[in-house]
Chain A
Amino acid sequence: MSFINYVINGVSLGSIYAIIALGYTMVYGIARMLNFAHGDVIMVGAFTVFFGVSMQGFNPFVAVLLSIAVCITLGITIEFIAYRPLRGAASSLVVLITAIGVSYFLQNLALLIFGANPKSFTSMVPLNPIRLAGGQIVISGETIVTILSCLIIMISLTAFIKKTKPGQAMLAVSEDKGAAQLMGINVNGTITLTFAIGSGLAAVAGILLCSAYPSLSPYTGSMPGIKAFIAAVFGGIGSIPGALIGGILLGVIEILGRAYISSQLADVIVFMVLIFVLLVKPTGILGRKLQEKV
């Protein structure tokens, strides 16, 4: 495979990271929490499609919509049951641990229902690969759909936040929760909306991920979840363009590292680049500096 092919694959993988990273970044920006169960919502999204298409014979399109609906409901439920009661708790660590509890719960529930053996996932992308430069460069249908989806999501999310009332409310809540409340913004509702969007995106990411790497197990979401979190930090947590840049950089570094250095050390390279970026620019590439008032 040529260098260009690797880069294209990297951008594709990175686009998936970016979509997942959006969920982390939005939730962090608004609720100031690291939702470590986010990766497992991806897995739930992929399993829903697997259940619909491979086990029940649904139309793929219906299955995808179902999956998004399931994940949105799941995200809202998790926030309501596990996170909302802890808002205002003495330590921010508390909700982090609870999120880990939710992550265990989802993994083990999937383990009970579907078992530990990896399932082979049928790609949801009906496109044939495109060959360029006389067959030198091959771009799979999954890659095209993934990159396009990522772009559409980024653009529409940015427009949503800039142009709509609920989007403005999200900005306001992320700026100052107390002030937003005084301005008559429904803070709880806004946080719920954030979880709903993040989880819906997680479903999309899960389907794209499993279409490109067609193996599905209860732990499928775990590592991409962590990587996407890293991508969010990389780009500057709280920033939407940051999630895009962070995700794509991470994907490209990972694929190139795997191809040219060592498949075993690819993750090491990713994490080392992260540490390096944070040392040089602690707020991430596009992050803002927050200073405590003295």
Chain B
Amino acid sequence: MSELLLTNLLNVTNLSISFGGLRAVDNFDITVKKGQLYGLIGPNGAGKTTVFNLLTGVYRPDEGKVFLDGENITNLKTMDINKAGVGRTFQNIRLFKKLSVLDNVKVGLHNRYHYNTWEGIFRLPKYRRIEKVMNEEAYKLLKVFDLENEADYLAGNLPYGKQRKLEIARTLATDPKLLLLDEPAAGMNPNETKELMETIRFVRDEFEMTILLIEHDMKLVAGICEELTVLNFGKTLMSGETNEVLNDSRVITAYLGE
């Protein structure tokens, strides 16, 4: 039993929120094990992104508990949830568009490397030392995503696919335990999606990351997710291993209608 608890990274029970009478998420439970690639799927408007917003403190849940690695993170602020180890990307990409690609990643490194305001303004030795380390770290991450040649570009000028990658790189810079990806393949062509699948797998292996992702592209989901939870009208329709879930008649009905 205790061993089981240790291997669970994310433990969500009974999570609920209503918006003006509408129960957007209703008694949502999920358990994600360390190192797992877990998919959250469901038709449009099922409440998937709302779950992410609840997990990351953008919304406060009406009920329910969220535990990350045994730590209760339920009512923490967004920034503290990130510090506790949850990183996320957004459905509509949210980059720092007027910062360079390199600086986007360096903002992600913000809480891991410190020097104070005065050391920064007066360019004291500590500033030089830490900035050098931050640059090295950031370039390491950019290389993983094949972005090192674009380091000096403005993030807003990157092509779409690379923006998605940069967003993941920026989030990884915060050194999260759990990575939440909100429709990472949205707007990508089949080739880009295939490449993205490999990148996600690579991130999981290379960074020993636990990943929970929302996705509509069933090929991607079937290709990389080990377990799935299906959400419909804010409620959990079913959870289980990928093959089992995707072949379930209830899931097919939810997607295709009756």
Contacts and interface: CB of A to CB of B under 8 A. Distances in A.
A113 interface: no
Contacts of A294: 49, 53, 58, 90
A91 to B, nearest CB: 12
A294 B180 CA distance: 14
A112 to B, nearest CB: 42
Nearest to B182: A294
Interface SS of chain A: helix, strand, loop or mixed?
Answer: loop
Nearest to B49: A294
A291 to B, nearest CB: 10
A294 B92 CA distance: 8
Nearest to B59: A294
A169 B96 CA distance: 36
Interface in A5-34: none
Contacts of B58: 294
A294 B90 CA distance: 8
A110 B230 CA distance: 68
B136 to A, nearest CB: 33
Interface string A253-294: 000000000000000000000000000000000000000001
B49 to A, nearest CB: 7
A196 B51 CA distance: 46
A199 B58 CA distance: 41
A37 to B, nearest CB: 30
A50 to B, nearest CB: 49
Interface string B207-247: 00000000000000000000000000000000000000000
Nearest to B53: A294
A248 B108 CA distance: 49
A265 B185 CA distance: 60
A294 B19 CA distance: 14
Interface in B45-67: 49, 53, 58
A294 B52 CA distance: 10
A294 B58 CA distance: 8
Interface in A221-235: none
Interface in B3-53: 49, 53
Contacts of B90: 294
B200 to A, nearest CB: 22
A294 B54 CA distance: 11
Nearest to A292: B58
A77 B179 CA distance: 54
A294 B49 CA distance: 8
Contacts of B49: 294
A294 B51 CA distance: 12
Contacts of B53: 294
A294 B53 CA distance: 8
Nearest to B50: A294
Nearest to B91: A294
A183 to B, nearest CB: 22
4 contacts: A294-B49, A294-B53, A294-B58, A294-B90
Interface of A: 294
